[in-house]
Amino acid sequence: MSRLARPSDSTVLSFQVPPCHTVFAADPVLRSVKAHDALFFDGDEFTNLYEVVEGVFRASKIYSDGRRQIVAFAYPGDLVGFAQSNRHRFDCDALTAGKVRPISRHALLSAVKTRPALAEKLLSAAVDQLSCMQELSMILCRKSALERVASFLCAFREKTGADRYVQLPMTRGDIADYLGLTVETVSRNMTNLRQRQIIELPEPACVRILDLERLRHVAEEDVAYH
Amino acid sequence: MSRLARPSDSTVLSFQVPPCHTVFAADPVLRSVKAHDALFFDGDEFTNLYEVVEGVFRASKIYSDGRRQIVAFAYPGDLVGFAQSNRHRFDCDALTAGKVRPISRHALLSAVKTRPALAEKLLSAAVDQLSCMQELSMILCRKSALERVASFLCAFREKTGADRYVQLPMTRGDIADYLGLTVETVSRNMTNLRQRQIIELPEPACVRILDLERLRHVAEEDVAYH
DNA sequence: CGTATAATTGAGATTAGTCAATAACTGTGG
DNA sequence: CCACAGTTATTGACTAATCTCAATTATACG
C-alpha cells in the first residue's frame, strides 16, 4: 500500500485492530444500526467505544459558528469513540446501515491491566495511528484541492478493498468537511478528474476509476516520498 | 489552558509524560547536544527514543521535491522519536543546545510488558495526543494564515511557560513549514500583528506580546468551541 | 568588515472561496 | 406510477487569500 493511500487509515478517533488479533471477539454483543443512527454525541459520557463490524461511520465535530469538521470515517475493523476524558468529543453516526460491537470502557481498562500483550498492541496501534495522522494532516495542509480529492479517492478505494468501481457512502459535503475544502471545490475537482478521463461519474455516489495510475500520480505529484 | 493553545502540545511524534510520573527517571544517562546536532535521521534504525530534558528540538521530514514538513517541535518533558516500525520516519535535530535522555526501545518494550500501569499511562498519553492531533491538524487546515500565526505564538507561549516575552528558537522558515505556509506569509502576518499593536518585534527572534487577549482572539476567531 | 543567511516588503499570478443559479437525485404521498 | 418538494450536486462569475518571484534590508558569523 502506498503511503499516500493512508488517509482513511489514519482516522484519529478510530484505530484499526490488526485483523489477526480479534481482540474483542470474546464479546458477542452486536448492535445493528440504521443509516443516520447516532452512536454517541459530542459531550456524551464515554461509556463505550465501538468496533465497526459492518457499514461506514462518520465522526464529526460541529463548531459554534456552524462549521463542521469530519474527523474520521470508520470502516469495518476500526475502533471508534476512543476518548481520553470522561466525555466524547465528537458526534458519531452511521452513513449506512451496519453493525457495531460496543466495548465497555471499564472492560477495556481492566483488560489492559491484566493482559500486557493487549496493552502493547493497543499502544502500538495508537502510536502507529499517531504517526500516520501526523503525516496525513500535514500533507492535507499542503496539498492542492485536486491532490486532496485524488488522494481521498485512492485512500477510499484501498480502505474498502474496491477495485475500479467505488461507491461513496458520504456526500460531497462530508468529503469537503473531511478534506478542509468547500462542496463546490470538491465538485469542481471531481469534474476535473472526469474531464481528464481519469474517472467516470455514472452518478454522484459512484466513481469508476479509469486510470488508477494517473489518479495516484495526481494524488502524489507534489508530495513525493523518497 | 484554552483548547486552541494546544498546538505545540500535540506534537505527534512527541508525547508528553505527565510531570508527576517520571517514568524514565531510573535511567540516569543524559546526553548533551549542541544546537543543530541531530538525534537521528529519517530512515535510521529505531533504537532509542528520547525524553527532552532541556532545549528545543525539531522533527522534520524532507520530501524528494525539496519541500519540508516540520512535524513537531519538542520541548522539555516531551518524548520524541516514537516509531512504530524499525526505522525512524523523520529527522530530528536540536534548535538550541540541550539535553536528552535516550530510552532504549528494547527497555521500553519490556517495561510495558512487566508494568501494566506504565502501559496504561503510555496508552492514555498516546490516545490523548491522537485526539489533540486530530483537532490541531484539522484546525490548521481550516484556519487563515493570520489565525495560524497567532495560534502558534499563543501555543508557544503556553508551552514554554513564557509570560509576555517570547524567544523563538526557530526561524520563520521553520514556522512556515510547521504551519503549512510560506516564509513570506508568516512574515507578513507577524508584521500585521505588530502593526495592530498586538505584538512587538524588537528583533526577529523576540516577540513581546502587548495584548494577549487580542492575540488569543485573533487565534480563535473563526474556530469557536462550544 | 564582508559575505552569507534570514527577514521583510512589494507586485503580480494562482488558487480556492463566496454567492448565485441551475440541474439531478431522493423520497414521499397522491 | 407519477408529481412534487427537499436535498444534493454541478457550474459560472466574481472575490479574496495565499503563493511566487523579485528586490531590499537586517542579522549573524567568520
Distance A92 CA to C17 C1' (A): 28
Above 50 in pLDDT, residue B7?
no
Q: What is the pLDDT of residues A99-144, one digit of tens each?
A: 999 988 888 778 877 777 777 777 776 776 777 677 666 667 778 9
Q: Which grid cell sits at B187?
A: 512574515
Highest mean pLDDT among B13-17, B119-123, B209-213 belongs to B209-213
Closest residue in chain A to residue B81, using alpha carbons only: A131
Backbone dihedral angles phi then psi of residue A102, each to the nearest 5 degrees: -70, 140
Q: Which of A112, A124, A136 sits opposite B116 (nearest CB)?
A: A112
Above 80 in pLDDT, residue B65?
no
Above 50 in pLDDT, residue A201?
yes
Strand D: which nucleotides have any atom within 7 A of a protein Cβ? 8-13, 17-22, 26-28
Q: How far apart are CA B106 and CA B103, in angstroms?
A: 8
Backbone dihedral angles phi then psi of residue A20, each to the nearest 5 degrees: -75, -15
Residue B213 Cα, gap to closest chain A Cα (Å) = 20
Task: Give the pLDDT of residue B63.
Answer: 78
Our CA dihedral for A187, A189, A195, A196, rounded to 10 degrees, sits at -160
The answer to whether B206 CB sits below 7 Å from nucleic acid chain C is no
DSSP assignments along chain A, one per residue: --GGG-GGGG-TTEEEPPTT--TTTT----EEE-TT-EEE-TT-B--EEEEEEES-EEEEEE-TTS-EEEEEEE-TTEEE---SSSB--SEEEESS-EEEEEEEHHHHHHHHHH-HHHHHHHHHHHHHHHHHHHHHHHHHHHS-HHHHHHHHHHHHHHHHT--SEEE--S-HHHHHHHHT--HHHHHHHHHHHHHTTSEEEEETTEEEES-HHHHHHHHHSSS---
In B, which residues are within 8 Å of A9 by CB distance?
none
DSSP assignments along B123-156, one per residue: HHHHHHHHHHHHHHHHHHHHS-HHHHHHHHHHHH
Q: Do A113 and B109 touch (CB under 8 A)?
A: no
Q: Which of A65, A69, A83 sits opposite B224 (nearest CB)?
A: A65
Q: Do A127 and B126 touch (CB under 8 A)?
A: yes
Q: Which of A119, A126, A134 sits opposite B71 (nearest CB)?
A: A134
Distance B185 CA to D20 C1' (A): 11
Mean pLDDT along residues A157-186:
93
Q: How far apart are CA A89 and CA B70, in angstroms?
A: 27
Helix (H), strand (E), coil (C) string for A15-72: EECCCCCCCCCCCCCCEEECCCCEEECCCCECCEEEEEEECCEEEEEECCCCCEEEEE
Strand C: which nucleotides have any atom within 7 A of a protein Cβ? 6-11, 15-20, 24-26
Q: What is the pLDDT of residues A43-88, one digit of tens each?
A: 999 999 898 999 999 998 887 777 788 888 888 988 888 777 788 9
Strand D contacts (Cβ < 7 A) comprise: A 171-173, 183-184, 186-188, 190-191, 201, 204-205; B 144-146, 180-182, 184-185, 203-205
Q: Do A134 and B225 touch (CB under 8 A)?
A: no
